[in-house]
Chain A
Amino acid sequence: MSLLAAAAPVHLGTGEAVVFWILGPIALAGALGMVFSRNAVHSALFLVNTMLSLGVFYVVQQAPFLGAVQIIVYTGAIMILFLFVLMLVGRDSSDSVVETLRGQRVAAILLGIGFAGLVGAGIARATQHLPAPGVEKAQQGSGNIPAIAELLFTRYLLAFEVTSALLITAAVGAMVLAHTEREPGSRQTQKELSRARFLNNPRPQTLPGPGVFARGNSVALPALLPDGTVSEESFATGLEPQEVEEMPRPTGRAELGTPDDALGTLDPAPLDGGHR
């Protein structure tokens, strides 16, 4: 082992250093952004950023299988699951700024800085001469995936089988937790739903959509009623309603001429010998 350690290089190649110094700050920025962004969706996207960088690190560190699994399982499946739950729970369920324990945030950040300093310095000191022999010898020229498979189905076979039990338990548990029990016969028929809608609802029809009769159709633009006033029922939740600009109205048929003139289309329609 000491012979191997003596032969193995301590310093890594330039290409790897370039990858590290580009993606390392990106991963760090993603992690910090995740913790400090108010919006939970932004947090999820920052975390995707960090996880993608880590996936590239795995590939660079001779673990291409893990890199692929990282990108497919973590950034693909798990983060989509997170986003699904975020959208179900509601995007505007953002953090409260009320501190239950006074001074807890400051204490947590100070603790984090201290912990990072201690652990980082300890690791840096303990591993500064750590050789990097690489995993080629363990792979015996057969590649990364056969080497992992060989270990997985020989030495770690029991753990692998227990993992299957864990996964099936998790799937059943998630179904049990997410299931809502409903009394048999308590489901409303279409007739009952329709009655409830028209008898108890002061407004059975749909709410006005955004931007009707206005110059844009953004959700931030409230609808304009035919008399030009803003319809308050069309305000989008969680958005500041903006000023709306009205569409120019036709003032009179005689001034406008053909519909093409009124709309300003390029090709004039052939005149039918009317009042022009």
Chain B
Amino acid sequence: MTLTNYLVLAAILFTIGAVGVLVRRNAIVVFMCVELMLNSANLTLVTFARANGTVDGQVMAFFVMVVAAAEVVVGLAIIMSIYRTRRSASVDDANLLKY
């Protein structure tokens, strides 16, 4: 068991999140998958902070969390307003720009 285990776990979690973004249609679940990707990046940052012997990586992870919180708030508000006008939370239904 080395630090590699954490990094590989983070890579797998990131991949699952990316596949979820591609596969799922519900906008809220897509957002959750984005959160999972951000979280796995945080795990990588914390692991490399430990490998480097500094806390800079932890500060970076902290900033990622702040940005993620702001992103979730705005994103969910956008989903709400789309749902109000189009009565659907599916990302396939928000296709007005296509026509």
Mark A residues whose CB is within 8 Å of B: 4, 8, 10-12, 16-17, 20-21, 24, 27-28, 31-32, 34-35, 40, 43-44, 47, 50-51, 54, 57-58, 61-63, 65-66, 69-70, 73-74, 77-78, 81-82, 85-86, 88-90, 93-96, 98, 100, 104-105, 108-109, 111-113, 115-116, 119-120, 123-124, 127-135, 137-139, 144, 147-148, 151-152, 155-156, 159, 163, 166-167, 169-171, 173-174, 177-178, 180
Q: Which residues of A contact B42 (CB under 8 A)?
A: 54, 58, 66, 70
B66: shortest Cβ distance to chain A, in Å? Answer: 5
Main secondary structure, interface of A, reads helix
Q: Which residues of B contact A167 (CB under 8 A)?
A: 66, 69-70
Number of residue pairs across A and B with beta carbons under 8 Å?
253
Q: Which of A54, A85, A116 contacts B28 (CB 8 A)?
A: A85
Q: Which residues of A contact B53 (CB under 8 A)?
A: 4, 8, 133-135, 137-138
- When the two chains form their complex, are residues A123 and B8 in contact, meaning their CB atoms are under 8 A apart? yes
- Given A31-B13, A44-B32, A88-B80, answer yes or no on A124-B8 (Cβ-Cβ < 8 Å): yes
Q: How far is the CA of A24 from the CA of B1 in the complex (A)?
A: 12
- When the two chains form their complex, are residues A34 and B32 in contact, meaning their CB atoms are under 8 A apart? yes
- When the two chains form their complex, are residues B78 and A89 in contact, meaning their CB atoms are under 8 A apart? no
- When the two chains form their complex, are residues B83 and A89 in contact, meaning their CB atoms are under 8 A apart? yes
- Given A130-B51, A147-B55, A177-B77, answer yes or no on A163-B66 (Cβ-Cβ < 8 Å): yes
Q: How far is the CA of A78 from the CA of B74 in the complex (A)?
A: 12
Mark B residues whose CB is within 8 Å of A: 1-9, 11-20, 22-26, 28-29, 31-33, 35-36, 39, 42-43, 46-47, 49-56, 58-59, 61-63, 65-74, 76-81, 83-84, 88-90, 92
- When the two chains form their complex, are residues A173 and B77 in contact, meaning their CB atoms are under 8 A apart? yes
- Given A85-B76, A127-B7, answer yes or no on A35-B24 (Cβ-Cβ < 8 Å): yes
Q: How far is the CA of A250 from the CA of B11 in the complex (A)?
A: 68
Q: How far is the CA of A57 from the CA of B71 in the complex (A)?
A: 24
- When the two chains form their complex, are residues B15 and A20 in contact, meaning their CB atoms are under 8 A apart? no
Q: How far is the CA of A128 from the CA of B2 in the complex (A)?
A: 7
Q: How far is the CA of A183 from the CA of B26 in the complex (A)?
A: 32
Residue of A whose beta carbon sits closest to that of B44? A123
Q: Which 5 A-B pairs have the closest CB atoms?
A: A112-B19, A170-B70, A108-B22, A177-B77, A17-B1
B14: shortest Cβ distance to chain A, in Å? Answer: 8
A128: shortest Cβ distance to chain B, in Å? Answer: 6
- When the two chains form their complex, are residues A151 and B50 in contact, meaning their CB atoms are under 8 A apart? no
- When the two chains form their complex, are residues A174 and B74 in contact, meaning their CB atoms are under 8 A apart? yes
- When the two chains form their complex, are residues B51 and A108 in contact, meaning their CB atoms are under 8 A apart? no
Q: Which residues of B contact A11 (CB under 8 A)?
A: 1-2
- When the two chains form their complex, are residues B70 and A180 in contact, meaning their CB atoms are under 8 A apart? no
Q: How far is the CA of A237 from the CA of B66 in the complex (A)?
A: 39
Q: Which residues of A contact B13 (CB under 8 A)?
A: 27-28, 31, 50
